[in-house]
Chains A and B, each alone.
Chain A
Amino acid sequence: MLLEPLVGRQEQLEDLETLLGLECGIPVQSVYVYGDSGSGKTFCVKHALRGLNHVWLNCIEILMPRCAFSSIINSLKVSEVLEKLEDITKLTSCDTSSDFIRIFTQTLPIDEKLFIVFDDAHRLRDLDLLTFFLRLQELSKRQVCCIFISTVPFSHLVSTTDFFWPHEVHLPNYSQEELCGVLIQAKAHGYSDEFYESYVKLVISMFKNVTTNAKELVHIAKTNFEYYAAPCKLDPDIQSNSLKLWKNIEPYLKNAMDTVYLRDTDARCGNSDGSKMAVKQIIELPFYSKFLLIAAYLASYNPASTDKKFFVKRSNREKRKSSAIRKQKPNYHLLGPRPFPLNRLLAIFHAIVDSPVEPRTVLSSQVSSLVHHKLITQAAARDPLSEPRYKCCVDFDYITAIAKTVKFPVVEHLEDFNM
């Protein structure tokens, strides 16, 4: 993978190589590489450091400063695989930065270069290690260079001005042509370059507004190519017929649009059969919990003023509102769920359940279990004694599916459908 040529990153790579003093001389103290995720930061740095003596650290793993110190020292000392389990006890552990400097200077010969890479470097800020590693060369008096990779600019990490400022290398987002070049590198065998290029252009034009993450686009292009190329196996002439190819691939790409960043194998199997998916996603709930959820949905999408209309037994005196008022009403589904107090939820619940239900403790505990399942959320985290407020989080399709299982006509009770 490292041998592949870099597309659209030559300039930045040259910068990086100069800073690291690869051609001649001593590397700079520290380099800060940043850019959006999927813009090739890690790939660039790996490319620059190939064949060189380097230590790669991922900052998510560094829970405490001593983890960073120990792993740098140990990766200098220890060979690839341990011989016995007892060997692990021989690994050095340094607890403080002064210990680290002492052991580090002892281990690293003075004429040897070393590069230390910190991936996800913004995490170092919380550990107070950033200042230390930025000036490691100065402190240890060795030819060592720290490379930081992060998604945020360096200025976001520091608060004071008297900080040692590293050399920054910014990787801008790929342009469309560059993306195209990157994607073509992952070409499948057995097809002509033009055929694959037209496919890649199609994918990029469709997804450019959704994501520019190269890794993600490569994944999308890879997984959907077999569908794209499928008709060519039956009929080789179709390769030149772009319209037919587009007609064939369109539903697959649209489906992929919904699952960008998700590697859900279910979703991929589901394809165009949407209804089947919905059934799979619905949780089984006890009978009363289902009604509570329906009540929560109604409370969230109906204004409280309409409760009387839907849930009180109709009296003959009810007046019909004039059409002029009706027109002004907004679509409550477009406004999104609104919070409602617990009392209203329970009142609606008692109104929609057929048989009278005694207000029991188990019933109110079901509300919190719905919150646990993330079907409703507590809107305001206030004192639980005074009117807790909730919001319903499920969508219309979900609630109709739930309502179907208990044979409750949910549409008849929604203001948006009964103007």
Chain B
Amino acid sequence: MDTPLISRSCHVRKPPKPKKGPLSRYISKWEDLESKICAFHVRKHERLIEDVCTYFKNFPISQDICTATLRFGSSVSDQSGIFEELASQLTGTTELVCRLTPIDCHSLSSIVQKLFHEFVDAACPNDAPRLKKSLVTFENLVQIFKLITKNAAERQRSPKKRRDAKPSVTGTKVIIIIEDVTSVAPTILEDFCLILKNHLDTMETCLVFGMSSTSQSVHKLLTFKCSSCLSIQTFTSPPVPETLAEIFELLVLNRDFPLKLSPEVYNWLNDFVLFHDFSLTTLLHILRVALTLHLQTVDENVIEALFQPGLDVEVDEAHLAHHDTDLHLEELSKLFIALGESKSVNFKECYLALQKDNFLESVIFKKVEQTIKFLSTDELKSRLMSYIEKTKESDQILREDLLESIVDLIRRLFEEDLQENLAENEDTNFSDVKSRFELKSKLLMAAQKKRTTRLDVVKEDLIGLLKSDVKSLKTPSSLKMYNEVYIRNAKELENFFNPSQRSRVHQALATPSVYLNCKCCQVKSTELKAELPPISLAYKLHLECGKMINIYDWLQSYQTVREDSSKLSIAQFLRAVRELTLVGFVKPTTRKTDHCQRLTWGSC
């Protein structure tokens, strides 16, 4: 019997899968949403993947290694879905596609090992023999490659099996995808490329580099010797803000998910992503946390009823009402987009603004109103028509009354003599003018008076229609179950994902009474008082110092405030200094004796 090792007693237990309870339903709903977003993200990159495939197909046989660099705007860790798709697309052109993650690339031997296993799997897919580790070399790798090509050639030659097989591809290629080039050590990358180059005659290799930096950075990594054997073509992913905006649209219009994001959360998320972090992984993580936080605050029964329609009549009704409002919102925002200038109004903003109470006073509405007033007949006609067409194209017509009234408006635009002045009937005879002053004022009035045409009336009617429709719209906050259905924890999310730790620490140390809840140390943030806790007092004193702080001077001022020069106060002071060092405000320095260095300035 072996003696048990300590490491053996360490177990990793997989949590049991939740049985068919409410939890599993939440999870499946969430997974649906997540996979939807990821799938969309991959779909956005279809062009890119196709381009890479054609590049590899058309690349002539040459002395250089054919390399495609995929440049992603956001971090590479988001892109695993895209690499997966790319790998599966590339397997159409060749059998051997290997993906190397950063973990595989920490040394040359680990790269070879990974490739070796992939090759062996490709050579005999059914029963790969166990191979000794000493056999894992580049030389043997090439041998296996030769074997694979030979097998492939034989398979194509045997006409019985594959009569209808397509004419053979010119030769088997190996495509190696290195997912994050910048994380691979330059020496390893260079050696790897040189080795591949040496075997290029026997083993045709293509490389795919994924990275989130410029292609220049690859050149910076490699020496001339290596860069001269890579024929690099760069492929750029679609702009990140665009992709993200579309992902947000997907989130807003997602009807399958019973919970919705409130405009505040939504705007915060949008700002966070655009200002700080483009990463999709972070975005998904934030959504997950937002959802978890929300689920904690809401009554369990309501949530369960929301996720499983048919349990509670009241909840179902509320849910239906919310659903109707959503449709109404969507329809209205589509109409507004169709009418407004495409640059100034976008769907997402419009949709979010409509959720608020005072949309009629908002900038968007005013813009649209102004645009309508300036539009010519033809332009107005075409915009309305395009809206109608789009609505009819979509599967269901959501709001027939709105549609009908718009159709009616269009009919009026076609029928009437639009330029006819309606204000004509008001007589403008200047016969009874008695004085020069009167004439002047009348002329002025006539000039100021707008020429009201029938077109203007139609426009007025359109605006009136929009206004009444917006007014008839029930804002989500006025509906039942608003707090349950809408996720509204923007503040909490901010604290989690974008915390301002420095200001919190400063607040805690400057006004400790907030945290300690005691009356004795209630001071303003700039005041000093003997009753303050030692660390707080030391902190406040150090704020007045320069870059170098003399410990003795510091102690002296500490003791003066304390009015205490006992040994206990020295001990307390030293402990406070140590605590400040731990928090990172000061650090001991060797540049000057008996001094410590201050590390923070203002907000830096």
Contact = CB atoms under 8 A, between A and B. Distances in A.
B501 A282 contact: no
B309 interface: no
Contact of A385 (B123, B128, B587): B587
B308 interface: no
Interface stretch (A24-32, A67-75, A108-116): A67-75
A288 B212 contact: no
Nearest to A215: B228
Contact of B232 (A263, A283, A358, A375): A263
A89 B135 contact: yes
Interface in B27-77: 64, 71, 73-75
A85 B216 contact: no
Given A281-B214, A350-B603, A359-B500, A286 B231 contact: no
Interface string B209-233: 0001111110110001101111111
Contact of B120 (A81, A84, A85, A261): A85
B552 interface: no
A265 B232 contact: yes
A234 interface: no
Interface residues of A, number: 63
Interface stretch (A3-11, A56-64, A164-172, A198-206): A56-64
Contacts of A262: 219, 227-228, 232
Contacts of B602: 347
Contacts of B275: 286-288
A360 B147 contact: no
B500 A358 contact: yes
Contact of B73 (A67, A284, A372): A284
A350 B71 CA distance: 30
B276 A264 contact: no
Contact of A286 (B129, B213, B217, B276): B276
Interface stretch (A239-247, A321-329, A361-369): A361-369
Interface in A357-399: 358-363, 366, 369, 372-375, 383, 385-387
B147 A81 contact: yes
Taking each of A70, A88, A343, A385, which has the highest tally of chain B beta carbons within 10 Å of its own beta carbon?
A: A88
B164 interface: no
B498 A89 contact: no
A162 interface: no
A385 B233 contact: no
A37 interface: yes
Given A263-B230, A385-B587, A60 B603 contact: no
Given A88-B143, A262-B228, A66 B134 contact: yes
A129 interface: no
Interface in B107-147: 108-109, 112, 120, 123-124, 128-129, 131-132, 134-135, 137-140, 143-144, 146-147
Contacts of B120: 85
B414 interface: no
Contacts of A78: 143
Contacts of B6: none
A4 to B, nearest CB: 15
Interface stretch (B190-198, B364-372, B523-531): B190-198
Nearest to A123: B191
A42 to B, nearest CB: 10
Contacts of B219: 262
Nearest to B137: A67
Contacts of A288: 275-276
Interface in B229-244: 229-234, 236, 239-241
A288 to B, nearest CB: 5
B603 A346 contact: yes
Nearest to B589: A386
B137 A61 contact: yes
Nearest to B221: A374
Contacts of A63: 108-109, 112, 137
B10 interface: no
A188 interface: no
B182 A374 contact: yes
A366 B279 CA distance: 12
B228 A346 contact: no
A343 B227 contact: no
A82 B134 contact: no
Contacts of B240: 284
A49 interface: no
Given A265-B232, A280-B234, A362 B277 contact: yes
Interface in B561-604: 584, 587, 589, 597, 599, 601-604
Contacts of A81: 143, 146-147, 150
Contacts of A14: none
Nearest to B65: A263
Interface of B: 64, 71, 73-75, 108-109, 112, 120, 123-124, 128-129, 131-132, 134-135, 137-140, 143-144, 146-147, 150, 182, 191, 194-195, 198, 212-217, 219-220, 224-225, 227-234, 236, 239-241, 272-278, 497-503, 584, 587, 589, 597, 599, 601-604
26 contacts: A61-B195, A67-B137, A67-B139, A70-B134, A81-B146, A85-B129, A85-B147, A89-B129, A261-B224, A263-B229, A263-B231, A264-B233, A265-B233, A281-B216, A283-B212, A283-B213, A283-B214, A286-B274, A286-B278, A287-B275, A359-B503, A359-B604, A360-B499, A360-B501, A385-B599, A386-B587
Given A67-B139, A369-B75, 15 more contacts: A37-B225, A61-B195, A63-B109, A85-B129, A95-B134, A281-B214, A283-B71, A285-B278, A286-B276, A286-B277, A289-B276, A361-B501, A372-B182, A386-B587, A386-B597
Q: Which 7 A-B pairs have the closest CB atoms?
A: A284-B73, A359-B603, A263-B231, A343-B604, A261-B224, A265-B233, A346-B604
